[in-house]
Structure 1
Amino acid sequence: MKKSLLTLALGSAFAIPAHAQSSVTLYGLIDTGLIYASNQQGHNSWQETSSATQNTVFGLKGTEDLGAGLKAVFKLEQGFLLNNGTQAFSGDGFGSQAWVGLESDRYGTVTLGRQYDVMNDLVGPLTAEVNTWGGSLAAHPFENDNLAANSVVIDNMVKYVSPIYHGLTVESMYAFSNKAGAFATNRSYGFAASYAMGPLNLAAGYLQFNNAGAGTGAAPTSDYSANFLAERQRVWSVAGSYTFGSALVGVAWSHTQMDNLGGVFSFGTGTYLGAADDASGSLNGSLRMDNFEINGKYGLTEAWSVSGAYTFTDGAYNGSSPKWHTGMLQTAYALSKRTDVYLESVYQIVHGAPEGSVLSHAMINTLGPSSSNSQLAVMVGLRHAF
C-alpha cells in the first residue's frame, strides 16, 4: 500500500499538464552532401557541405486551443551546419525562427518575433529557390530579392496573415529597429498576397529595408541577416505556376533597387565583400537588378523527379549594365516519404559589371565568390525530414 501511494505521489509530482486540443511537435530537416565548385576565390574545391538546397534545422512548434476558434501558436527553430555542428546564424539561439502569436479561424494570425518575411512566405514557394527541387543553390545573384530558401530572417517583426478566402491569402509585416531616437534606421516592412485555386497559383509582394546592416535592428550583419548594406533596399515581385498531371511550370519576376549601396554580404562565406570602385574599396551609388525566371518540374515516377530553372538578371550600376545568367538542373529520388537523394548542378556567368567590383565575380548562393565571371557547382546530396 505504501509503495502504491509513493508511486502515485511521484507520478503526480512529475506529471505535465496536457490539453486534448493542444500539442507541441519536435521537427527538423537535414540536408547534406558533397559539392564541387569550379572556382571559389580562385581555387577549385571539393567540400562536404550542409544546407546547400534546404536549411538544416531542428525546432519546436506548438498550439494551444483557447476556445471560440482562437489558438495560441509558437515556433522555435535553430539552423545549423551538419558538417561541423555550428550555428547557421552566428550567435543566435533560435536563428531560423523564434515567434509566438494568436491564430483566429475568422480573423487570421498575428505573430511577433524573429520570422521570415512576407515575400519569402508567399512568392518564394512559386520559384525554384524555395522548393526542394531547386533550393538555395538556385538563388538569384547575391540572393538580391529574398526569394531563396529562408536564408534571410528578420528580427523584431510583427506579422499578420489573413485567413484563406476563396483561395486568396494576404500578409503584412513591420519589423522595428528597436533603437531609441532612430526609429527608421534598420527597419523593414512589406506586404504580399497569393491566390491558389486548383492547378493555378499566383503571388505578388513588396518588401523594403531601411539601412539594413546598420548595427542591431531588423536586419543585422552579425548573424548574416543582411545581404546588402544600403540606405534603402526595395523589392517588388510577381510569380505564378501551373500544375498539369505530373508536370509543373512556373515564371517569376522580381525587381530590386538598392540606394546608396555600401557593399554586399556573402551568406555563403560569412565575409563582407568589398570592391574597387573608389579609394575606400567599397561600393557606392545605386544598384538595380531585375530577375526573370522560368522553372519547371516533372515526376518521371512517384519517386523520381527532374527539375530545372533559368534566371536572367538585368542590372544597372553607376552607368554600367551587369547581366547574370544562372541555370539549374536537378534530379531527385525519394527513398521514402521523408528521405531522398539528389544530384544538382548550377552554373552562373556575369558580363558587363565594373571590372574589379564584387559585381563582376560570379557567386552561386551558399558558396564563396568566384575570382572570375563564371562559377559551376555540382552537388550530390541526402535529405531527411523528421
Structure 2
Amino acid sequence: MKKPMLLAVALAGTAASAAHAQSSVTLYGLIDEGLNYVSNVQTGRAGGALTGKQQFAMSDGATGIGGSRWGLRGSEDLGGGLRAIFTLENGFNINTGGLAQGGLLFGRQAFVGLANASGQVTLGRQYSVVSDMLAPFSEAGELPGHMGSNPDDFDDLGHSVRLNNAIKFKSASFAGVTLGAMYSLGGVAGAPGRNQVWALAATYANGPFSAGAGYLNARDPNLSYFGTNGNSGNSSTNNFGSFGSAATAQSNPVYAGFASAATLQLVIAGVKYHFGAASVGATWSHAGYSGLGDTSAGPNPLHYAGTGIINNGEINGSYAFTPAFSVNAAYSYTHKASVGEFGSANYHQGTLSAAYFLSKRTELYAIAIYQKASGTDSLGQSAVASITQLTPSATDHQALVRLGILHTF
C-alpha cells in the first residue's frame, strides 16, 4: 500500500511542478517623487476675482512622469498557444501613503483575459484603446509623461481616464498593422446605450516610421468616462472638474463646463519618425462635447446648448546624447471654439525636459513647462492657464519646474 501511495504523491508533485512552470506572476511597480515650483496656483476667490500664489511642494509622480504604483501581472499557459492573463494595478501617493483614483484598491487597472499569437481580449477596468495606442506619438508618451499632456489632458493621451466594465481587444502586429477595439457596457436596465463607451484604433509601423489613428464615443461622459473613480458622483456632480469656490480652486477649466454633454467624441491621429538617436512626432486631437444641456448626464450651470469643440495640434522631438542621457521638447496649440454667448479660448504650451539614468531602473529628471491662455474658457471666465495635474493658475499663464527621481521595480 505504501508504494502506490508514494508513487501517487510523486506524480502529483511532478504535475504541480509542471503546472507551476507554465504559470507566472510578476510583482512590479514604479515610484516617482519630485520637487515642484509652480509660478501661480489658485487659492480661491476674493471680491469675485480668482486669487493665486507661487507654490513650492514635494509632489508624487501623479504630477510627474507617472503616478506611483504597484501591481501584479500573471500568465498561465493553457496549451495550444493560448494563455490566460491578468493585471491588478494599484495607484498610491508616496507622500501620504494614501490610495489614488478616489480610494480604489486597484484603481489604475484590474482585468483578466485570454491571449494567443493573434492578439488578446481582456475584461475589467482598463485604459482606453485609443490612449493606449496613440499616446506613444505624443509628448505624454515621451519623457515628461502625464505632466506633458495637452492642457488638462482633454484628449486622455496622458492616461487620466480608466473605463469600467470594459471588453478590450488588441491584435498582434501583422505586416506592421495593429488593431484595437473596446466596448464599455453601461449596464443600465432597459437602456443598453446609456453610459456606454466604444472605441477603435489602428497603428502602422515600418522601420523608423509609424502612424496611428483612433476614435472614441462616450455616451453620458460625465458618468461613463469621467465618473469612474472611487470618489465620483452621480449626474448632479460635475465629474469633469470643478468651478471652484471662495475657498477651493477650480479643476480642469479647459473643459469642466461641458459636463452636461450627451456624447463625447474623440478623434486622434499621430505620426512619428526615428532617425538614429533622434525622433520627431506630431499629433492632432479633436474633442466634441455634443448635446450640451442634458442634465440627466451632468450639471449645466452655464446653460450651454449645442456642441463644445476643442482641437489641438502638437509637435515633439527627442534626442539621446548617450544611452543614459536624453532630452525632449514639445510645443502644442489648443483651441476651444465658441459656445453660445461664450467666446473661444487658445492655449499655447511649451515643454522641455531631460533625463539621466543612474541604472536601468533609476533615473533623475527635470521638466520645465510654460502655458499661456487667452479668450474665454469652458467655465465662462477669462481663460486661465492649467497645466495637466496641477492646480490651475489664477492668471492667463503658468510655469512649472520639476526635479524628480523615478525608480521602477
The normalised TM-score by structure 1 is 0.86
Question: Could you tell me how far 1:362 is from its partner in structure 2?
Answer: 1.2
Which residue of the partner structure matches residue 234 of structure 1?
Answer: 265
Residue 287, structure 1, aligned to residue 294, structure 2: no
Q: Who is 2:286 aligned against?
A: 255
- String of CA shifts for 1:54-83, please: whole Å, max 9, x gaps: 121100001101111110010000111111
Match of 1:130 among 106, 126, 141: 141
Q: Cα offset for 1:314? A: 1.7
Q: Which of structure 1's runs of 4+ aligned residues deviate more than 3 A? A: 15-18, 221-228, 260-263, 280-285
Match of 2:182 among 155, 173, 179: 173
For 1:360, what is the secondary structure of its paired residue? coil
Query: Hey, what's the Cα distance between the residues in 1 that align with 2:66 and 2:127?
Result: 14
**CA distance, structure 1, for counterparts of residue 373 and residue 60 of structure 2:** 26
Cα–Cα, structure 1 residues 79 and 140, in superposed 2: closer, same or farther, change >3 Å? same
Deviation of 1:181 (Å): 2.6
Q: What secondary structure does 1:90 align onto? A: helix
- The answer to whether the 8 Å contact 1:213/1:221 transfers is no
Instruction: Find the aligned partners of 2:386 and 2:278 in 1 and give their Cα distance.
Output: 30
Counterpart amino acid of residue 28 in structure 2: Y
Aligned partner of 2:327 in structure 1 is: 306
Bigger helix fraction: 2
1:268 match: none
Task: Quote the Cα distance in structure 1 between the aligned partners of 2:268 and 2:303.
Answer: 28
The two structures, once aligned, show a CA RMSD in angstroms of 2.6
Q: Are the aligned partners of 2:162 and 2:228 in contact in 1 as well (CA < 8 Å)?
A: no
Q: Which runs of 5+ in 1 are unaligned?
A: 264-273
Distance in 1, matches of 2:82 and 2:120, equals 9
1:347 aligns with 2:348: no
What corresponds to 2:35 in structure 1?
34
Does the C-alpha gap of structure 1 residues 222 and 152 become closer, same or farther in structure 2, counting only changes over 3 Å?
A: closer
Question: Match for residue 243 of structure 1?
Answer: 274
> Within 1, Cα distance between the matches of 2:166 and 2:359?
37
Select the residue among 216, 220, 226 that pairs with 2:227: 220
CA deviations 1:259-317 (Å, max 9, x no partner) are: 24579xxxxxxxxxx9xxx9x46766532111100000001112111101100012203
Q: Aligned partners of 2:127, 2:378: CA distance in 1, in Å?
A: 35
Q: SS state of the match for residue 221, structure 2? A: coil
Give the match for residue 361 of structure 2.
Answer: 338
Q: 1:209 maps to which residue?
A: 218
Contact 1:37-1:45 within 8 A present in 2 as well = yes
* CA spacing shift, 1:113–1:37, aligned 2, 3 Å: same
CA distance in 2, matches of 1:359, 1:240: 34
Shift in Å at residue 19 of structure 1? 2.6
Separation in structure 1 between the aligned mates of residue 401 and residue 18 of structure 2, nearest angstrom: 50
Compared with structure 1, are the counterparts of its residues 359 and 258 closer, same or farther at alpha carbon in structure 2 (3 Å cutoff)? farther
Q: Is the 8 A contact 1:306 1:330 kept in 2?
A: yes
Paired position in structure 2 for 1:269: none
Q: Which residue in 2 is equivalent to 1:140?
A: 150
- In 2, distance between residues paired with 1:119 and 1:356? 27
2:384 to 358, 361, 366: 361
Please name the residue that 2:206 is paired with.
197
Shift of 1:183: 2.5
Number of residue pairs matched by the alignment = 358
Distance 1:306 1:252 in 2: 19
Matches of 2:29 and 2:338 in 1, distance apart?
A: 40
Give 5+ residue unaligned stretches, structure 2. 1-5, 43-51, 233-238, 241-255
**Residue in structure 1 matched with residue 408 of structure 2 by the alignment:** 385
Amino acid at match of 1:313: T
User: Aligned with 1:19: secondary structure?
Assistant: helix
